[in-house]
């Protein structure tokens, strides 16, 4: 895909009065167009094509392998990052006998301040490879952080069933996605920090031949961005912790970010912590050169989640309670976004209903409708979504084709 292929149908601006009137309006996708995206050669939903997309929850029903999760993955690329599967961009290209072409996703987003047209996809130009292009209202965007300003998007997938028992990196990514909904600059900070982390590791491989001045500059970036990352994570985790404290249909969850930099921030001001992290990185160059990484920094931190009433770590809870705790955290974060931004996030819930008992399933549906944001849910059994009949848009997905059920 080249930049010229990211087309836009033109956005609109709302007046100040309109923005005020829509302060609690639903946010959502009004038009979705896919090209060469996994199993979809081309697909268009909404924007004059049937079926229309509105602010109701959207239920995608169909057999396994029909393309339901691929649709959710396409929607996840309306947020910063690598999508809900974290796949290589070139692996997403649709394969056919004639070869493959770079994929594109285009959408019209209802943002609470008007319609914004977004296009994104893999750069198919020379050397583009694994680079993702973003275009907003017909203008090329420098980086992906502008996506976080337009909409907050969160998801739950079956792969996240192991969130609380897998390694810390999975939980850090999960938390970072939640932070994006509140702090649009967070994605850029994480990108800058990780780039400096990689460059420092490459330099340290040279041993005595490493450029000490360049190492100092990289460690300055890591200290500045790393402390900001840790502070944002702590702030949002604390706010979600308070929002998730009330016991309801899903268990109350307790959240905390644990790590060396976080403990330093609890003891002193951010500027002092920047100095401390920068000095610590400089002192650990020899050790990091041997290990091939960095022993200090927020890339070592973890998100700790507990079942609040039982004061038990989520990792020690049953599989069903872990799923319920995950929903508790995501729904609390969604309520927080709705309160702070005036519009709820877009939720992508892949095969969630099948793992809930009837009472929690009904409670989830009621919460989604009450929240008013656009939620996309997938499942193989339409009867599981009976609680949403008359309150949601039901779409049938079969063999990479989508129609109104």
Q: What is the pTM of this model?
A: 0.89
Please classify residue 215 by burial: count the beta carbons closer than 10 Å to its beta carbon, then call 0-12 exposed, 13-18 middle and 19+ buried: middle
Overall average pLDDT of the 194-200 stretch: 97
Give the pLDDT score at 26. Answer: 63
Overall average pLDDT of the 179-189 stretch: 90
pLDDT of residue 127 exceeding 70, the answer is no
What is the domain partition of the chain in residue ranges?
Answer: 167-317
pLDDT of residue 11 exceeding 80, the answer is no
d(CA 394, CA 377): 10
- Classify domain 167-317 at the CATH class level: mainly alpha
pLDDT of residue 10 exceeding 70, the answer is no
Overall average pLDDT of the 373-378 stretch: 95
The DSSP secondary structure of 206-244, one letter per residue, reads TGGGS-HHHHHHHHHHHHHHHHHHHHHHHHHHHHHHHHT
Pairing type for strands 346-349 and 375-379 reads parallel
Poorest-confidence range of 21-35, 213-227, 241-255, 273-287? 21-35
d(CA 141, CA 135): 5
51: preceding bond cis by omega (within 30 degrees): yes
The answer to whether residues 32 and 45 touch, using CB atoms and an 8 Å cutoff, is yes
d(CA 115, CA 144): 18
Overall average pLDDT of the 160-175 stretch: 96
- φ, ψ of residue 123 in degrees (nearest 5): -70, 115
Confidence of residue 128 (pLDDT cuts 50, 70, 90): low
Give the pLDDT score at 341. Answer: 84
pLDDT of residue 138 exceeding 70, the answer is yes
- Sheet of 253-258, strand order: 253-258, 302-307, 312-313
d(CA 152, CA 337): 8
pLDDT of residue 15 exceeding 70, the answer is no
Give the pLDDT score at 4. Answer: 41
Confidence of residue 165 (pLDDT cuts 50, 70, 90): very high
């Amino acid at each position: 895909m080249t930049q010229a292929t990211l087309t836009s149908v033109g956005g609109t601006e709302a007046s100040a009065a309109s923005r005020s009137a829509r302060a609690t309006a639903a946010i959502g996708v009004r038009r979705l167009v896919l090209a060469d995206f996994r199993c979809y050669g081309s697909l268009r939903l909404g924007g004059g094509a049937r079926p229309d997309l509105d602010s109701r929850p959207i239920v995608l029903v169909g057999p396994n392998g029909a393309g339901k999760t691929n649709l959710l993955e396409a929607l996840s690329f309306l947020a910063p990052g690598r999508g809900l599967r974290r796949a290589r961009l070139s692996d997403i290209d649709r394969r056919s006998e004639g070869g493959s072409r770079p994929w594109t996703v285009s959408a019209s987003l209802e943002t609470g301040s008007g319609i914004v047209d977004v296009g994104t996809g893999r750069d198919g130009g020379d050397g583009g490879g694994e680079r993702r292009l973003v275009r907003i209202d017909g203008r090329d965007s420098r980086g992906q952080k502008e996506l976080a300003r337009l909409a907050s998007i969160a998801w739950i997938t079956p792969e996240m069933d192991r969130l609380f028992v897998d390694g810390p990196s999975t939980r850090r990514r999960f938390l970072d996605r939640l932070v994006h909904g509140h702090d649009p600059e967070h994605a850029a900070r994480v990108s800058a920090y990780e780039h400096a982390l990689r460059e420092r590791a490459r330099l340290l491989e040279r041993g005595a031949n490493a450029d000490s001045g360049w190492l100092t500059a990289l460690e300055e970036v890591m200290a500045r961005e790393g402390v900001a990352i840790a502070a944002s994570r702590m702030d949002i985790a604390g706010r979600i912790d308070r929002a998730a404290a009330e016991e309801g249909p899903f268990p109350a969850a307790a959240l905390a970010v644990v790590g060396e930099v976080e403990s330093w921030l609890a003891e002193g001001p951010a500027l002092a912590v920047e100095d401390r992290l920068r000095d610590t990185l400089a002192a650990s160059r020899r050790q990091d050169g041997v290990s091939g990484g960095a022993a200090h920094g927020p890339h070592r931190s973890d998100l700790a989640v507990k079942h609040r009433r039982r004061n038990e770590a989520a990792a020690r809870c049953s599989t069903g309670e872990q799923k319920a705790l995950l929903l508790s955290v995501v729904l609390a974060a969604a309520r927080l976004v709705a309160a702070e931004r005036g519009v709820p996030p877009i939720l992508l819930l892949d095969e969630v209903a099948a793992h809930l008992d009837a009472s929690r399933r009904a409670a989830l549906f009621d919460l989604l409708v009450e929240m008013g944001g656009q939620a996309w849910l997938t499942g193989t059994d339409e009867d599981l979504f009976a609680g949403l009949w008359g309150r949601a848009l039901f779409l049938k997905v079969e063999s990479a084709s989508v129609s109104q059920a």
